[in-house]
Structure 1
Amino acid sequence: MKEQTPIRKAVALHYDEQKDKAPRVIATGKGHVADNIIKEAKKAGVPIQEDRTLVELMRHLTVDDQIPEALYETVAEIFSFIYKLDESVKNKK
C-alpha cells in the first residue's frame, strides 16, 4: 500500500514591535497556496523554519490574527534564531 504524501501547509508571521503585541499571521495556506507562500518567502530572502507541529498549532489562525499567548515562547525562540542569523550574515558583509 502506497503512503500518501502529507499536504504541505505554511503560515507566515510578521512582528512589528512598534504596533503589535505579538507576531501576527500575514499568510496561511495548504497545498499549492503553501508552496507559493514558501516560494515567495525564499525569493524575498525571508528565513523559513519548517516545523509541522507548530504549523498544526497555528492552522486555525487567519490572516491578521495574532499568535496565541501559548505559542509566544516557541515563536520567540524561532524569531531569536532568525535575528541572530540575520546579524551573522550582516557581519560577514
Structure 2
Amino acid sequence: MDKESSTPKKNKAVVALRYDIEKDKAPLVIASGRGPVADEILRIAEDNKIPLYEDPELAKLLSKLELDTEIPAELYTLVAEVLFFVYKLDRMAQKRERMVKKIQEEEKNKKRP
C-alpha cells in the first residue's frame, strides 16, 4: 500500500486475514488481490474500521495461499506481529471508549441540580 495515498500500487498485494480464536486453529486468508481487487479489499476494510497493517513482503507471501486457507506454521511469528498490532489498537479503542463514557457521565452529572 502506498502510505501517501492509502491506495495500493498496481502490483502490491493486499491480503485480509481472519482469526477467531474459538473457531480457527490458525489465522485464515479470507481475501487477497492486486489492483482493483486490492482497492476493493481496502475500501471494505476502511468502511468497516478494520485496522490496516502494512508489510509488503508478508502480503506477498500470504497472497500465494488459497482463500480460506490457514496460514502455514512457518508464518506464525510474522502473522503474530500483525495480530499483536490489531490487539493493541483494539485495547486503545476500548480505553478511549471508556474515557469518553466517563467524561459524558461526568458532564451529565454536572447538569443535574
TM-score by length of 2: 0.74
- After superposition, the C-alpha distances for 1:9-52 in whole angstroms (9 at most, x for unaligned) are 21100001112110001111111000100111011000001111
Aligned to 2:95: 91
**Whose RCO is larger (CA < 8 A, sep 6+)?**
1
1:77 to 77, 81, 88: 81
1:8, CA displacement in angstroms?
2.7
**Structure 2 residue 26 is matched with structure 1 residue 22:** yes
Matched letter for residue 26 of structure 2? A
Could you tell me how far apart the structure 1 residues matched to 2:65 and 2:54 are?
17
Does 2:44 match 1:40? Answer: yes
Distance 2:84 2:65 in 1: 22
Q: CA deviation at 1:58?
A: 1.2
- Quick one: distance in 1 between partners of 2:63 and 2:70? 13
Stretches (4+) displaced over 6 A: none
| SS at 1:50 equivalent | coil
Residue 6 of structure 1 and its aligned partner are, at CA, apart by 4.7
TM-score (norm 1): 0.89
Q: Flag structure 1 segments of 5+ consecutive residues without an equivalent.
A: none
One-letter code aligned to 1:41: A
Greater C-alpha radius of gyration: 2
In the alignment, the residues of structure 2 paired with residue 55 and residue 81 of structure 1 have an alpha-carbon distance, to the nearest angstrom, of: 15
- List runs of 5+ in structure 2 lacking aligned partners: 1-8, 98-113
The structure whose residues are more often helix, as a share, is 2
Matched positions, count: 89
Instruction: Give the percent of matched residue pairs that are identical in Structure 1 and Structure 2.
Output: 44
Task: Specify the alignment match of 1:56 in structure 2.
Answer: 60
